[in-house]
Structure 1
Amino acid sequence: MSAGNGQAQKDAACQSGAAVFLSNPLMSDVESDWSPVHDAAFNGRILTLRKLLAQGACVNLNTLDKVSPLHGACMQGHTACAQFLMENGANVNGSSVDGRTALTQACARGHVTCVSLLLQHGADPRGAGPAGSPIHSAAAEGQPQCIEPLVRRGADVDQHIDTLGSPLQVACSNQRLGAVKKLLQLGASVNRSVCGDAPLHIAARLSSPELLTVLLDHGADRSLLNPEGKTPLQLAAPGSWAETLLRQAGGVAPLVQLCRIHIRNTVGRQRLGGIRDLHLPAELIQYLLFQSDLRGETLH
Structure 2
Amino acid sequence: MEELSPKQLAVKQLKQQFLEALQANNAQEVLQILHTGKLDIDTVLEVEDPSMVLASYKQGYWLPGYKLERSWAMGIHVSVMYNALETTLVLLQEGAAVNRMPNGKTPLHVACTVSNSDCVALLLAHGAKVNSLSLSGHTPLHHCISGESVDCAKQLILKGAKVNMPSHSNDGETPLHTVARLGVPELLALYLAHGATVDVVNSLQETPLITAAFWAFDAKEQSFSQNHRFICRLLLDHQADPNRQELDYKTALHKAAWNCDHVLMQMLLEAGADTRAMDINGCAPIQYLLKVTGVRPMAIPELCYQLLLNYNAARIYPPQFHKVLQSCHDYPRAVEVMVNSYERLKPTKKWRTSIPDDCYERHKDFYDSMFAVCSNTPRSLLHLTRCTIRSSLGGFCQRGVAQLPLPSPMKKYILLEPEGILY
Q: TM-score, normalised by structure 2?
A: 0.51
Deviation at 1:78, TM superposition (A): 1.2
In the alignment, is the contact (CA less than 8 A) between 1:148 and 1:186 conserved in 2? no
Question: Relative to structure 2, which stretch is displaced further, 168-177 or 234-243?
Answer: 234-243
Structure having greater relative contact order (Cα 8 Å, sep ≥ 6):
1
Unaligned 5+ segments in structure 1 are 1-20, 258-300
Letter in 2 for 1:254: R
In the alignment, the residues of structure 2 paired with residue 128 and residue 227 of structure 1 have an alpha-carbon distance, to the nearest angstrom, of 26
Work out whether 1:185 is the aligned partner of 2:237. Answer: yes
> Could you list the per-position Cα deviations for residues 181-226 of structure 1 after superposition, in whole angstroms to 9, with x for gaps in the alignment?
1111111111111422101111111111121011112111112122
The answer for the alignment partner of 1:136 in structure 2 is: 177
The answer for the alignment partner of 2:81 in structure 1 is: 42
Select which of 237, 246, 255 maps to 2:308.
246
Deviation at 1:32, TM superposition (A): 5.2
Work out whether 1:33 is the aligned partner of 2:72. Answer: yes
In the alignment, the residues of structure 2 paired with residue 120 and residue 79 of structure 1 have an alpha-carbon distance, to the nearest angstrom, of 13
Deviation at 1:164, TM superposition (A): 5.9
The answer for the alignment partner of 1:225 in structure 2 is: 278
Deviation at 1:22, TM superposition (A): 5.2
Select which of 78, 96, 100 maps to 2:116.
78
The answer for the alignment partner of 1:51 in structure 2 is: 90
Structure whose alpha-carbon radius of gyration is higher = 2
Deviation at 1:167, TM superposition (A): 0.8
Deviation at 1:132, TM superposition (A): 4.5
Select which of 159, 163, 186 maps to 1:145.
186
The answer for the alignment partner of 1:162 in structure 2 is: 203
Q: Relative to structure 1, is the Cα distance of residues 162 and 232 closer, same or farther in structure 2, using a 3 angstrom cutoff?
A: same
Question: How many pairs are equivalent?
Answer: 234
In the alignment, the residues of structure 2 paired with residue 25 and residue 40 of structure 1 have an alpha-carbon distance, to the nearest angstrom, of 14
In the alignment, is the contact (CA less than 8 A) between 1:104 and 1:127 conserved in 2? no
The answer for the alignment partner of 2:130 in structure 1 is: 92
Select which of 288, 292, 296 maps to 1:235.
288
User: What fraction of aligned residue pairs are identical, expressed as a percent?
Assistant: 27
CA RMSD of aligned residues (A): 2.4
Letter in 1 for 2:241: S
Work out whether 1:210 is the aligned partner of 2:237. Answer: no
In the alignment, is the contact (CA less than 8 A) between 1:100 and 1:131 conserved in 2? no
In the alignment, is the contact (CA less than 8 A) between 1:103 and 1:115 conserved in 2? yes
Letter in 2 for 1:122: G
Give runs of aligned pairs for residues 246-285 of structure 1, distance below 5 A. Answer: 246-250=308-312, 251-252=395-396, 253-254=398-399
Q: TM-score, normalised by structure 1?
A: 0.71
In the alignment, the residues of structure 2 paired with residue 208 and residue 231 of structure 1 have an alpha-carbon distance, to the nearest angstrom, of 16
Q: Relative to structure 1, is the Cα distance of residues 180 and 120 closer, same or farther in structure 2, using a 3 angstrom cutoff?
A: same
Deviation at 1:161, TM superposition (A): 1.6
Deviation at 1:128, TM superposition (A): 4.7
The answer for the alignment partner of 1:13 in structure 2 is: none
Select which of 109, 117, 128 maps to 2:146.
109
In the alignment, is the contact (CA less than 8 A) between 2:43 and 2:75 conserved in 1? no
